[in-house]
Structures are given as C-alpha cells and as structure tokens.
Structure 1
Amino acid sequence: MAAALQRFGGARPPSPERVRAVPRRARDARSARARRVAGRAGARVTPPPGYVLIRPETLVALQKAVEAALGARAADCLVAGGLAGGAKATASLDLPKDERVRRLLEAGREIGWGDFALERLTPTELIVSVGDSPFARVYGRAGAPVCHLTRGVLQALASTVLEAPVAVEETACAAVGAERCRFETRADRRADAALLRGVLHIGIVVDDLEQSLREWQRVFGVSVGDRWQSDVGVKVAFLDVAGTRLELVEYTGPIVERFGPVLARREGVHHVCFAVDDLDAALGAVRARGLRVVPGFPLEGAHGRIAFLEPEPTTGLVTELCQPRGPA
C-alpha cells in the first residue's frame, strides 16, 4: 500500500464503496490518466506482458518521417503496423464477440492509447471512439486524420468480430479539431464473393527481353502482342499462347530501391496477375484477410491500375491484382 501511495503522489486510495459508485468507463479513464501522469512525473511504470513502453512523441516523429518519405502511402504502412499488433492481441482472445471487443478496448486504455469507448456493435458494424488519443495530441493540427496505428488495430479486431472483409475509416480526429477520434468499421458482405474475375497473365522475368522474344517465336511460333515500358524500371511484352497471356519482363531500373525486395529481379516465373472489378475494394478485402500490399502501389500498369501483394508464404509466388481499363 505504501508503494502504491508513493507511486501516485501519496494520495489516499478511495474506499471500495466509492470505487463501485464510479462508472467503469470513468474508472478506466482515470486509471489511464493516472498512469500517464506517473510516467510524466518520472515514476516507474511497468507495461503489461508482451508490450514495451514507447513515448508517443517517438511514434509520431517516426510517423512524420515516413510521411515525408512516402507521402500518402505512409498511412498504409502505419495501418499495417497496427494490424499486425492487433492481430497478435486478438489471437489470444478466445471469447464471445462482445467480450472480445470489450477486452481489447480495455487493453487500449491500459496501455495509454486513449479512452476507448464502444459506440455500436452489430453483425455488420463496429464503431469506436477514442478520447485523448496520444497520437492526435502529439501530432498537432493536421488536415486529415492521423491515428493510423489505432485504425490498424481496430481493423484487426473488426475482421474477427464481423467475420467478413472490412474497411475501417477514421471519420473524426482530434488532430483535425474533433472532440474525440471516431472509427467506423462496416463489413462488406459483397466481398465474401470471389474477388478475382480471372487470370490476366503469368509474369516471367527475363534477362534480355528482345532475345527472349526471338526464342519464343523461333521455338514455339508465338506472336508478340502489346509492348509497354514504365518509368519505374521495367519493360514488358505480351505473348498470347492459345488464350493464355504471358508477360515477359525485363528490369531496366532499380526496382528494389523503390518497391523493396518483393519485386527483386528473379528470372523465371515471377507472378500471376488476376483481374478484379474494383482494385481499391479488392485491396481492402485482402488486407482484412491478413495479406499485405507492396508499398508504392497502386500504380498505372500496362492494362490498368495494378498492385502487387507480398508473397504467399508456402510458395513464394507474388500476386498482382489489376483493374483493367477495358475488357479483360
């Protein structure tokens, strides 16, 4: 008891009757505020098991550095980080849906991510508000919502509670002037249907595009179709083989420096490209199912807007999604 009094400045703890009289949400918020005050005062604060103490100033400085480097793509990177942490946290919660939500929001308060409050939970909707978000508070005034880490955590939670691909949007943010940050998550039941319309092409990386085309024509008698060259560092040519389209790809620039090792040069069969009706909706669905989009995408490709997914773990094959400009 003496240690507890010293930790929180020597104040006498309230009586059990008084504690019971205070609503649970108010007690949780008060506890989180006390923990933040203790941290600012230099008192030792022990994080829950599996967590580390990082000041919000550190995370926000990192966020701003990523935004300066990647622009609008930074939000996806930060959401991916929150999604990974949220998936880890929810994996251990083998509980009914409403209890799972309550426990994760309670954990958010306990680790100092703000005063989480559940506004609505239905089979297709999860709405959460957060007061005193440390990310919004430290970030300062902004022209758009900034709590991307929180959004990722809630996306991980919603994808297990709503059991369908979900899209999470921060519809209000204290950094933009709102009283509380607000996150709205709605399941898209239409996304339960097949995402893929069909195979557009199989991508094959070659060392010399012109030489490879000559060999394909000489050996198999195939004709060369469309050609395309991109300023991101590739040139491609398409071959039609009995209704199957092959894409031969020659790297002409520093792909790894721009997109990372997933698209590193690797001769041979490299990726399979699938057509989708709506690329943005498809990317939202695959993210909700735990897949990651290669940073830097979507971009305009040879036949429409494209995005690459990180490799499927058992085969290492890279998947490309394309929303064709015309008929696939």
Structure 2
Amino acid sequence: MTARFRDRLLWTAEGAIMDGPRRYLMLRPDALMGLFRALPEPARQAALEAFAASVHRQGADSARAYLAMGGTPAELPGIIARTAPDLGWGLWQAESGPDRVVFTVTASPFAAGFGPATGPVCHPIRGMTRAVAEIVLGRPCIARETACTATGAPSCRFEGVAQ
C-alpha cells in the first residue's frame, strides 16, 4: 500500500469523509453501541449479527481496494492491522496460517462503547475478520470472537477459519 489510510482520507465540502469512492463516518462508539445495548434480546443478537454480516460484505470491498493499491492476499492481515487504528478500531495484531487468520485487538471501540456484557459484542470486527480470511484463504470462511474485553478479557480475539 502506498499511503497510510488516514493520509488518503479527504474531507469534502459536502461533509463527507472519503477514501476514493468509499465513504466513511465518524461516530462515537457509545452512541453506536448504545443502540444495541438498548435492544431487548433476541432483537439485540439479531441486530449484532446483521452488523457483522454488513461489515463482512462492505469490509471485503474495502479489503480488495486496499489490495489493489499494492499487496498480496498473504499481506492483507497486516494491511488491515495497520489500517484499523486509523479508523479508530483499536490496535490489531495479525497472525495467519494455512487454515486461519487471527486478529488480537486491544482497545476495541465496540467493546468500550457497549460496556460490560455477558458475551462478545465486537461483531463488526468479526465481520471484517471473515472478509479478510476469505480473501487470504481463498474459500468461504466463518469467524468467531473467542475473547472480548466487554466480558472481562484482557483483549479481544478473532479467528477466521475455512468452512
């Protein structure tokens, strides 16, 4: 990738934040995640799953665009890990192997915005993990959040594995 993500952003006169044709939104995590916290179960879980699915779809588009700027699928986890802090998505560490992509995230805005929880709440990062794993592994994948700071873990951990 030639330029850091934050260096590519353009704030337009119309009030948009753009990275090429992709528009971004700056929003407080407590405002966003407060929506999910306010929903009763099972609506909350359904909405969080829809959020993961949306980020999976749109995140795959962003990941392909980042690759088009230079890089290989094997380099993609590192590219995403370097981009995440520029989005305010915390600090990511990437690992990958022949059958998985793993991200360990400290300072997840989704966990911080949601607050204490009985289960994982970082569904957008899970969606992005799935998108990255599918590109890196070249086949359909599933992703799961195996640790979440909202539940008291020291960091959030995500695994994307081939189905």
Asked if Structure 1 and Structure 2 have the same fold, meaning a TM-score greater than 0.5 normalized by the shorter chain, the answer is: yes
- Structure 1 Cα separation of the partners of residues 36 and 124 of structure 2: 10
SS at 2:24 equivalent: coil
Partner of 1:56: 29
- Structure 2 Cα separation of the partners of residues 105 and 63 of structure 1: 25
Partner of 2:113: 138
| Preserved contact between residue 89 and residue 104 of structure 1 (Cα < 8 Å) | no
- Structure 2 Cα separation of the partners of residues 66 and 77 of structure 1: 14
- Structure 1 Cα separation of the partners of residues 127 and 155 of structure 2: 18
Higher Cα Rg, which structure: 1
| Preserved contact between residue 48 and residue 111 of structure 1 (Cα < 8 Å) | no
SS at 2:89 equivalent: coil
* Equivalent position to 1:96, from 68, 72, 75: 72
* Equivalent position to 2:157, from 138, 157, 182: 182
For 1:61-106, what per-residue CA distance to the aligned partner results, in whole angstroms no more than 9, with x for missing partners? 2222455571432232111121133122112123312322211221
Q: Tell me, which stretches of 5 or more residues in structure 2 are unaligned?
A: 1-5, 7-15
| Preserved contact between residue 129 and residue 159 of structure 2 (Cα < 8 Å) | no
The structure showing larger relative contact order (alpha-carbon pairs under 8 Å, at least 6 residues apart) is: 2
Please provide the CA RMSD for this pair: 2.3
Give 1:19-34 correspondences, 5 Å limit.
none
What TM-score, normalized by structure 1, do the two folds share?
Answer: 0.41
- Structure 1 Cα separation of the partners of residues 105 and 52 of structure 2: 16
Amino acid of the residue matched to residue 35 of structure 2? L
1:111: how far off?
A: 0.9
Q: Tell me, which stretches of 5 or more residues in structure 1 are unaligned?
A: 1-31, 33-45, 189-328
- Structure 2 Cα separation of the partners of residues 81 and 62 of structure 1: 16
* Equivalent position to 1:111, from 76, 83, 87: 87
Kindly indicate which of the two structures has a greater share of residues assigned to helix.
Answer: 2
For 1:154-201, what per-residue CA distance to the aligned partner results, in whole angstroms no more than 9, with x for missing partners? 11111111111111010000000011100011112xxxxxxxxxxxxx
Using the aligned pairs only, state the percent identity. Answer: 32
